[in-house]
Amino acid sequence: MIVPYTRALHRGSKGIDVLATKRALAHAHYRRWGFGFTKTAGPRWVTDIRKFQKDHGLKQDGQYGPKTHAKLARYFDRYGARLMSLKKKQLQQATIGRGPAEAVHQAIVAYNNAGLVHYTQSGLRMEIVRRGIKDLAKWFAARNSLYEDCSSSSTGFYYIAGMPDPNDLHYNGQGFTGTIAVHGRRVSTPAPADLGLYGSYPYRHVVIYVGGGRCVSHGSESGPKLTSPYYRSDFSHWRRYV
């Protein structure tokens, strides 16, 4: 039985996929059957997830990501699996048709909120994907910070826009410049949302082209900046993923 991964879940998340994980945790004997089977991830859910993560050698962060899902998937019943499939379909339908223009918009929003965007190559990166963020403007309006690096931020902009994962990893929270570089196709003239690579394989940096001869580059703690793609002498080439 295939149980699809839907999105990153954390305390406060709501949806039928939260309910499905509670059923799976009960089948795995980490909570009493039928207790608190709501669609909201509360403190009890976080505690249960942490206990499950500890027993399965995972990072005990109380969040439901791809690695936790991979371990819990075997405990989903058929109803829970159907709920996960339905939620995944709902998420996909919510982003259909947004495409490159939306990816560019999200990159500009990140640039306009550079003070809230931190640079990291740690496990905190891929936050947009891990948390299932759908609108950076709303995220920053709540004064939430964001932890990304150059490749994970580009991946996140594509994720919000409903575009194919440039890493070709189905948005599982993994990927870096090297996986971005071997997918899509090389183009000579950039269009909005194309990604630019620097150096040679596995490449040192990646930016997203936003039009008008400018790109958004997130390569330091100073946050995303709007600049010419050729501000570095080691620019290599453009890649397109649609």
Given pLDDT bands bounded at 50, 70 and 90, which one contains residue 7?
A: confident
Q: Answer with the residue of higher pLDDT: 18 or 95.
A: 18
- Model confidence pLDDT, tens digit, residues 77-97: 999 999 999 998 887 665 544
- Residues for the chain: how many in total? 242
Poorest-confidence range of 18-22, 64-68, 112-116?
Answer: 64-68
User: Percentage helix, strand, coil, to 5, in the chain?
Assistant: 40, 15, 45
Q: Identify whether residues 66 and 116 lie together within a single domain.
A: no
Q: Within this chain, do residues 130 and 214 fall inside the same structural domain, yes or no? A: yes
Per-residue pLDDT, averaged over 144-149, amounts to 97
Domain residues for the domain of 45 are 16-95
Residue 6 counted as domain residue: no
Cα 203-177-186 angle, rounded to 5 deg: 80
9 in a structural domain: no
Beta strand spans in 59-113 (E): none
Q: Return the sign of the alpha-carbon dihedral for residues 212, 162, 120, 141.
A: positive
- Of 60, 95, 130, the one marking the end of a domain is 95
Band of residue 99 on the pLDDT scale cut at 50, 70, 90: confident
The count of structural domains within the chain is: 2
Residues 212 and 159 in one domain: yes
Q: Same structural domain for residues 28 and 148?
A: no
**Residue after which a domain boundary falls, among 63, 95, 127:** 95
pTM score over 0.75: no
Q: Residue 214 CB: number of other CB atoms within 10 A?
A: 16
| 85 inside domain | yes
Q: In the numeric block, which tokens belong to residue 106?
A: 């999200």
Average pLDDT over residues 199-203: 95
Residue 151 lies in a domain: yes
50/10 Cα distance (integer angstroms): 11
119 with 64, same domain: the answer is no
Whether residue 233 is found in the same domain as residue 134: yes
CATH number, domain of 115, equals 3.90.1720.10
Check whether residue 158 and residue 219 sit in a common domain. Answer: yes
- 3-state DSSP assignment of residue 82: helix
Residues 121 and 232 in one domain: yes
Q: What is the pLDDT of residue 94?
A: 59
- Of the three residues 71, 95, 119, the one that is the final residue of a domain is 95
Average pLDDT, stretch 216-229?
Answer: 96
Mapping DSSP onto H, E and C, the string for 16-52 reads HHHHHHHHHHHHCCCCCCCCCCCCECCHHHHHHHHHH
- Note whether 236 and 181 are same-domain residues: yes
